[in-house]
């Protein structure tokens, strides 16, 4: 029995050493170490030996199992390493070849326009502040001089939430209240950008979601002349140094007096064309002096402080600057449109 075990071990080692494929290892393991393998059969037959021979045979059989398992693991490692080396040699990568070009994304045209606006107003001394897109009725309307049932509320169709008096802001003007309450009682200049929402029909000129940029300055002895100077400087930095401006009387509940700021057409230089509807002028923003009630609601005494405010749509600025005729392109997800501004 002992001689048979030693002979089997040598035979197993000899066969293991000549294996050249990792796939052959499983067949070898099953033949010698499996449940129906030769070593397992030898272990089962030990019970038939004379009593005095069983200890030696059992000890030798266990030593052989340990030796064969170790030899199996070593050979498996060698074959895996050889296969890996052959694969690397066969599929070698030529690092001198040029890499595949990557399709990189780009800033959305609205984001590009917003950043241009930020840079201009930072230069003019404005800080950038942000406020939430969900507001309460008090901040979105009442503190801005829109009392309940005021006819001016019809100018802005509103998305209300299931919580009473909580809504998606219809303009960035509530940021005026947040900015004043943050800075009170100090003078300040702030730019308030963000998304707004209105329950409107989507057309070439209107969307239910859009960006706005609100600006506000509060201090001592601020006048309409200061407002006109800031707006004119912005238009010239954004559209060109030769731009001309005009201010038309208008109405906004939160400013008094209020105005619409128009710029001479960038396409026809005021001569009249399809872009400006043959008027020679393009509307770029609404503006005005902050209403005394709004100053008071923000914590400032209107007998001591004054201020101006303005609001513009970055998408409209981009449409004017790039000759875009349909606002629906901005958020359609059409990559062909967006790639033009990459």
Domain coordinates in residue numbering, the chain: 2-90, 109-341
User: Band of the pLDDT at 290, cuts 50, 70, 90?
Assistant: very high
For β-strands 127-128 and 188-197, DSSP reports them as: parallel
pTM for the model stands at: 0.69
Beta pairing partners, 215: 191, 310
Angle formed at CA 55 by CA 51 and CA 60, multiple of 5 degrees: 135
Amino acid 99: pLDDT:
79
pLDDT at 104 over 90: no
Condensed to tens digits (0 to 9), the pLDDT of residues 217-271 reads 999 999 999 999 999 999 999 999 999 999 999 999 999 999 999 999 888 888 8
Higher pLDDT among residues 94 and 229, named by residue: 229
Query: Could you tell me the end-to-end alpha-carbon distance of the chain, in angstroms, rounded to an integer?
Result: 82
pLDDT at 189 over 90: yes
DSSP of 65-127: HHHHHHHHHHHHHHHHHHHHHHHHHHT---TTSPPPPP------HHHHHHHHHHHHHHHTTPE
pLDDT at 210 over 90: yes
Calpha distance 226→240 (Å, rounded):
20
Amino acid 24: pLDDT:
74
Angle formed at CA 143 by CA 140 and CA 144, multiple of 5 degrees: 70
Condensed to tens digits (0 to 9), the pLDDT of residues 158-179 reads 899 999 999 999 999 999 999 9
Mention every residue, 6+ apart, whose C-beta is less than 8 A from residue 142: 148
DSSP state of 160: B
Confirm if 212 and 175 have CB atoms less than 8 A apart.
no
Closest by CA position to 294, among listed 174, 149, 136, 171: 174
Amino acid 53: pLDDT:
65
**Range with top average pLDDT, 21-30, 203-212, 224-233:** 224-233
Amino acid 148: pLDDT:
86
Amino acid 1: pLDDT:
64
Amino acid 46: pLDDT:
66
Calpha distance 238→116 (Å, rounded):
8
Mention every residue, 6+ apart, whose C-beta is less than 8 A from residue 210: 195, 196, 198, 313, 315, 327
What's the CATH architecture for 109-341? 2-Layer Sandwich (3.30)
Condensed to tens digits (0 to 9), the pLDDT of residues 40-53 reads 677 666 666 667 66
């Amino acid at each position: 029995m002992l001689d048979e075990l030693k002979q089997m071990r040598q035979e197993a080692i000899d066969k293991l050493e000549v294996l050249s494929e990792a796939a052959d290892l499983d067949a070898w393991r099953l033949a010698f170490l499996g449940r129906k393998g030769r070593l397992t059969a030898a272990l089962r037959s030990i019970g038939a030996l004379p009593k005095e021979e069983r200890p030696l045979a059992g000890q030798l059989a266990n030593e052989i199992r340990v030796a064969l398992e170790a030899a199996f693991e070593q050979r498996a490692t060698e074959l895996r390493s050889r296969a890996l080396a052959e694969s690397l040699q066969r599929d070698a990568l030529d690092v001198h070849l040029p890499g595949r070009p990557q399709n990189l994304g780009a800033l959305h045209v609205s984001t590009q326009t917003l950043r241009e606006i930020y840079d201009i107003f930072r230069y003019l001394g404005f800080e950038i502040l942000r406020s939430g897109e969900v507001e309460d009725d008090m901040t979105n309307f009442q503190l801005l001089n829109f009392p309940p049932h005021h006819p001016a509320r019809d100018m802005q169709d509103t998305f209300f939430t299931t919580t009473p008096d909580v809504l998606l802001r219809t303009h960035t003007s509530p940021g005026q209240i947040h900015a004043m309450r943050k800075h009170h009682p100090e003078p300040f200049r702030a730019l308030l950008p963000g998304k707004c929402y209105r329950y409107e029909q989507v057309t070439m000129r209107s969307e239910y979601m859009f960006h706005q940029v609100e600006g506000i300055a509060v201090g001592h002895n601020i006048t309409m002349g200061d407002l006109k100077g800031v707006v004119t400087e912005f238009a010239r930095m954004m559209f060109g140094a030769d731009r001309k401006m005009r201010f038309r009387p208008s109405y906004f509940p939160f400013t008094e007096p209020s105005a619409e700021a128009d710029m001479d057409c960038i396409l026809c230089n005021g001569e009249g064309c399809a872009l400006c509807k043959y008027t020679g002028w393009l509307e770029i923003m609404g503006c005005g002096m902050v209403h005394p009630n709004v100053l008071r609601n923000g914590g400032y005494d209107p007998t001591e402080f004054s201020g101006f405010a303005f609001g513009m749509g970055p998408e409209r600025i981009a449409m004017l600057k790039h000759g875009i005729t349909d606002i629906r392109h901005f958020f359609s997800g059409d990559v062909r449109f967006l790639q033009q501004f990459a």
